[in-house]
Amino acid sequence: MILSEKKDKKYILYKTLQCHELPLTNCCFNKNGSNFLTGSYDQTCIIWDTFSGKKLQQLKGHNNVVYTVSFNLPFGDKVATGSFDKTAKIWNVSNGQLLSTYEGHTAEVVCLSFEQTSKRFCTGSMDHTGIIWDLETDKKLYNLDEHQGEIISISYNMEGDKILTGSFDYTAKIWDTYNGEVIFDLKEHESEITSCQFNFPGNMVVTSSIDKKCKLWDLRNASKSLKTFEHDAEIMEACFNLISTKIASCSINGKAYIYDVKTLNEEHVLEGHCGEVSKIIFDSRSHNILTASSDKTCRLWDVDTGKCKQILEGHQDEIFSCAFNYDGDYLITASKDNSCKIWSAKI
């Protein structure tokens, strides 16, 4: 039903929030899209009401850049923040209260992920390690310490029994969350990994690298990648759509690509940006792709045709992050110009 809904949405600028004193680093929605988060170089994270644009809570406590932020989906009652101050913190959404501070890394915390039951979460750091934490006891469970370079991407699968990490050591690794041991070592890339992601069922992984390659891995035989897709420039990010039928990737030359998972063919080249594209995401219905660029714009693309449907303009500096809410009727863009914009397809 969701996938068959009308896809021809037009987004109108709903609100511009001059929300931080310094550039934004990241943004994300909660499950139903009623709230979203922004992190910033100003050392804070802010919880916002999507529909009113009202600031609900400002989370203060870090002593350096708040680089990565996340709700504990699907519940959305907690927020995790990771900072250049080498710590991660957990906060209460309803009142902004700091619940716990997690110390253990010796360098910047740049990525994190909640396990689906919200009983655990994992942090990744420039110190080359990941740490699995128990949220009920606030104790460290396992050190993920077999990478030889900075960990820049980390995520749980839906079942919560595996964690995926991507590193500047050219590899991605899949770990058993119950003993902290490496299950699969994905090591065909020839330069730093820039992103990695499980598909929704958790049986496939996509990795991207500045070696200009994006690789699809089938975990039934992870000793070798299933397919390598090549760009003509360094790839910044790659992702699956929710139903695992498509992969999208973007690169520093302003191009993005859509690939078919079943046929393993390139379907469309998305051209139009005149600056580096650092962020690419599908909406939940797999109708649209959103890209964010250093050219100060986001672009909305039709997945079926590869055509640009809309250019979201108005930011005064490069856009670092963007997100759809689950229903796809709101999206947010976060920029180096210290602002966040809310775009609505409901107006």
Structure token digits, residue 93: 């959404």
Give me the residue label for tokens 């990525």.
111
Residue 331 confidence (pLDDT) above 60: yes
pTM of the entire structure? 0.94
CB atoms < 10 A from the CB of 53, how many? 14
Q: Note the pLDDT of residue 1.
A: 55
Q: Cβ neighbours of residue 122 under 8 Å, at least 6 residues apart?
A: 112, 113, 115, 130, 131, 132, 133, 144, 154, 156, 163, 177
Using a pLDDT cut of 70, give the percent of the chain over it: 98
Average of per-residue pLDDT across 305-315:
97
All structural domains of the chain, each given as residue ranges with its CATH number in brackets, are: 12-344 (2.130.10.10)
Q: Note the pLDDT of residue 78.
A: 98
Q: Note the pLDDT of residue 8.
A: 73
Task: Please state, in angstroms and rounded to a whole number, the distance separating the CA atoms of residues 99 and 73.
Answer: 17
In 212-339, where do the E strands start and end?
Answer: 213-218, 227-230, 235-240, 246-251, 256-260, 266-270, 277-282, 288-293, 298-302, 308-312, 319-324, 330-335
Q: What is the average pLDDT value for the chain, to the nearest integer?
A: 96
Q: Note the pLDDT of residue 6.
A: 55
pLDDT in tens, 262-304: 999 999 999 999 999 999 999 999 999 999 999 999 999 999 9
186 and 172 Cβ atoms separated by less than 8 Å: yes
Q: Note the pLDDT of residue 267.
A: 97
pLDDT in tens, 33-72: 999 999 999 999 999 999 999 999 999 999 999 999 999 9
Q: Note the pLDDT of residue 186.
A: 98
**50-57 long-range Cβ contacts below 8 angstroms, 24+ apart:** 50/325, 50/330, 50/332, 50/342, 53/14, 53/15, 53/17, 53/342, 55/17, 55/19, 56/96, 57/91, 57/93, 57/95, 57/96
Structure token digits, residue 149: 């370079």
Task: Please state, in angstroms and rounded to a whole number, the distance separating the CA atoms of residues 131 and 154.
Answer: 10
Average of per-residue pLDDT across 144-157:
97
pLDDT in tens, 170-202: 999 999 999 999 999 999 999 999 999 999 999
Q: Note the pLDDT of residue 70.
A: 98
Structure token digits, residue 38: 């922004």
Q: Note the pLDDT of residue 19.
A: 85
Q: Note the pLDDT of residue 9.
A: 79
In degrees and rounded to multiples of 5, residue 219 shows phi and psi of -75, -5
In degrees and rounded to multiples of 5, residue 50 shows phi and psi of -60, -40
Q: Note the pLDDT of residue 118.
A: 95
Average of per-residue pLDDT across 150-164:
97
Q: Cβ neighbours of residue 263 under 8 Å, at least 6 residues apart?
A: none
pLDDT in tens, 1-37: 555 555 577 999 999 999 899 999 999 999 999 999 9
Q: Note the pLDDT of residue 347.
A: 65
48 and 63 Cβ atoms separated by less than 8 Å: no
